[in-house]
Structure 1
Amino acid sequence: MEFVQQLHMIGGIGESSYANNSLLQRKVISMTKPITEAAIIARFSTVTATIPRTLTIADLGCSCGPNTLFAVSEIISLMIDICNAKKHELPEFQVFLNDLPGNDFNTLFRSFLPGFQEKLSEQMKSKYGASVAPACFFNGVPVRSMGGCLLGRVYTSFFVVQPPLAVSSPRGLEENKGNICMARSSPPSVLRAYNELFQSDFSTFLESRGQELVAGGRMVLTLLGRRSDDPSSEEYRQFWELLAVDLNELVTEGLIEKEKVDSFNVPYYSPSPKELQWEVQKQGSFSIDCLEVFEVDRSVFETDFDPNVVSEEAADNMVGCLRAIAQPMLVDHFGGEIINEVFKRFRAKLGDRLSKEKIAFVNIIISLKKIT
């Protein structure tokens, strides 16, 4: 459980918080909206489809910030349209906001939830002239099963999920010295350890969701991935290897111990489309409706994007995004004294790399249907 405690984003609404450094995630949710809509329409828009009195929506890995309610809002909005077209009474919406125990649920409910119902009421009034918004009941659900990871059973049953996906910490990484992730210099045993843990974790995730989803229920997963079948490919490791360089520099300068770097490995795996497809088919609880790969480039991090000029804003926002994710793990392992120096160096290296090459984030979206 000690390891799980560090797996959370920076909370609050400060400068380094996840709430203020999640532009990439917002863009991904926006880009995957058509697939999420297609999953819901396929389930409810037919003549014979039954709309339940209560529709349950679960966001596994909700984190804290404006993005948390963005996907939920889009789902509810679409259901309002479907019910209006079918002349059907609106269901009640039961929304589960789920994350690890270290997530900042207090800020989520205090700072971001209050305006949700008001905006929903305004939408109902402007679109349909209705004065009453649908009933929405929100629940914050810290995960306690499977060692605290987003893998095991959480709910009795639910309908739509739109989570990011992470893996728990692999074992057998003693030989990954000087690296903090799967790198070109990582020995085969390290690559194998990450891959085997991904297979085990994702299979458990699918099995648990299969028990929770209603028959015919849909699940939409969005996650960072890779196009290549090579698990150590550049598209996966570009940010983490820059961070590893920073940490090894601090070792050389005597600011941190070499053993500390050698024993630090990021609990993160980016699967390929083939890996996802294989695991879904092997586990057997779901059929695949859609699987797409797309890239998000640095334009999402810039207010006025110019493909010929790399702005300081792009580099600053990229660093902020990584820091909001990685800082709790780094502080837990290395202590807080080095954090500012680590990200100062990371910012300099990232700015140099952006000036020389394209950096894009590979994302995978997969829409699944519960097999009845």
Structure 2
Amino acid sequence: MKVVEVLHMNGGNGDVSYANNSLVQRKVILMTKPITEEAISDLYCSLLPETLCIADLGCSSGANTFLVVSELVKVVEKERKKHKLQSPEFYFRFNDLPGNDFNVIFQSLGEFEQDLRNQTGEELGPCFFSGVPGSFYTRLFPSKSLHFVHSSYSLMWLSQVPNLIEKNKGNIYMSSTSPPSVIKAYYKQYGKDFTNFLKYRSEELMKGGKMVLTFLGRENEDPSSKECCYIWELLSMALNELVVEGLIEEEKLDAFNIPQYTPSPAEVKYIVEKENSFTINRLEATRIHWNASNDHINGGYNVSRCMRAVAEPLLVSQFGPKLMDLVFQKYEKIVSYCMAKEKPEFINVTVSLTKKK
């Protein structure tokens, strides 16, 4: 499986689209808003740029993409009015992998910009938008061309499935039953990818440029702990049921692993300091319930749809499209049962960084 080719959220505006099933991600953007606002405010006040170039990495598509942009613009407009300056020209660069539904973004741009002007006033400077398809584990932008980089719920995805020397039998991700070599391989891949990410962004950001990155993580130092692996463990249970029923070959399941790593704050700190291009301003962990909606009766349904919007393209690449409805029906039942007994939460890790040189 080539991750660059198959990893993308479900496109469009349908029932299982990411656009209609990303409430958790939206709430996390709002939860981390104070950190993002502080960073963009500090950046603007220290540089007072006439043109402000902002990249959103792993932008996906739908309302969340524009939520980030509008929040950043509002902070800058507030600060520039304090300084009695003209509104800067805004240049937004939306990045995601080539399979992302960029069309949904571009079709909504006119309406979004008009809404933004209604909220901020007609003095708002010109806004320019572009899509940048490609992996953020490679170079994406010209040297020293960016002021600010934002990324939310993207950086836990790896550039590839780790090279496993042993089978991760019966699992699709790290778990308490995974061999130690599997856990080690996942950490090694994460270390390589996050180091590359920091290196390439340091080349693209100008001196004093900032980044705010939020990703799924964990507080526990055990990479296979329940707080970060449980959501995938339940999906592997659904897939194992299909193996027992003879609908999925066991070998196919054993060969499938999710290209994701959910780091602890300590691991993030270690790699940032080792790579040495950035200063850490803030590093925090927050929690959010799996079911972010107020609809607690349909909690399992909501969580399974959210996970389907995220994971379906990966599953289709390995198992084909025919079984997807059945997989997620089973998953919904398993998740509902689990949520009736406990209150599972996602752990979010947010880091605010400033480029050193």
Fold match (TM-score > 0.5): yes
Q: What do residues 23-81 of structure 1 show as CA deviations (whole Å, max 9, x unaligned)? A: 00000000111001111222233xxx331221001000000110001111111111011
For the 8 Å contact 2:24–2:291, the answer to whether it is kept is no
User: Is it true that 1:98 corresponds to 2:95 in the alignment?
Assistant: yes
Q: Higher strand proportion, which one?
A: 2
Aligned to 1:268: 260
Q: Which of residues 260, 275, 279 in structure 2 aligns to 1:283?
A: 275
Aligned to 1:359: 344
Gaps of 5+ in 2: none
Aligned to 1:115: 111
**1:298 to partner: Cα distance:** 4.4
Summarize the alignment of residues 52-91 of structure 1 with structure 2, pairs less than 5 Å apart.
52-91=49-88
User: Is it true that 1:43 corresponds to 2:31 in the alignment?
Assistant: no
Aligned to 1:308: none
User: Is it true that 1:206 corresponds to 2:198 in the alignment?
Assistant: yes
For the 8 Å contact 2:3–2:259, the answer to whether it is kept is no
For the 8 Å contact 1:227–1:273, the answer to whether it is kept is yes
Cα distance in 2, alignment partners of residues 133 and 173 from structure 1: 55
Q: Which of residues 180, 183, 194 in structure 2 aligns to 1:191?
A: 183
Cα distance in 2, alignment partners of residues 206 and 115 from structure 1: 34
For the 8 Å contact 1:301–1:318, the answer to whether it is kept is no
Cα distance in 2, alignment partners of residues 298 and 246 from structure 1: 18
Q: What do residues 82-119 of structure 1 show as CA deviations (whole Å, max 9, x unaligned)? A: 11000011110010000000000112211x32211111
User: Is it true that 1:124 corresponds to 2:125 in the alignment?
Assistant: no
SS state at 1:196 partner: helix
Cα distance in 2, alignment partners of residues 331 and 40 from structure 1: 39
Cα distance in 2, alignment partners of residues 194 and 238 from structure 1: 16
Fraction of identical pairs, as percent: 46
For the 8 Å contact 1:174–1:263, the answer to whether it is kept is no
Q: What do residues 207-256 of structure 1 show as CA deviations (whole Å, max 9, x unaligned)? A: 00011111011100000000011000001111101111111111111111
Cα distance in 2, alignment partners of residues 315 and 223 from structure 1: 23
For the 8 Å contact 1:18–1:325, the answer to whether it is kept is yes
In structure 2, what residue type is equivalent to 1:142? P
Aligned to 2:241: 249
Aligned to 1:154: 140
**1:300 to partner: Cα distance:** 2.0
SS state at 2:99 partner: coil
In structure 2, what residue type is equivalent to 1:158? L
RMSD over aligned Cα atoms: 1.3
Aligned to 1:128: none
Question: TM-score by structure 1 length?
Answer: 0.92
In structure 2, what residue type is equivalent to 1:159? H
For the 8 Å contact 2:37–2:72, the answer to whether it is kept is yes
Distance 1:353 1:61, change over 3 A: same
In structure 2, what residue type is equivalent to 1:252? V
For the 8 Å contact 2:218–2:262, the answer to whether it is kept is yes
Aligned to 2:353: 368
Question: TM-score by structure 2 length?
Answer: 0.96
Q: What do residues 138-192 of structure 1 show as CA deviations (whole Å, max 9, x unaligned)? A: 001101xxxxx32121112212222120212211254211110001110011000
Q: Which of residues 307, 310, 318 in structure 2 aligns to 1:322?
A: 307
For the 8 Å contact 2:87–2:124, the answer to whether it is kept is no
Cα distance in 2, alignment partners of residues 153 and 5 from structure 1: 17
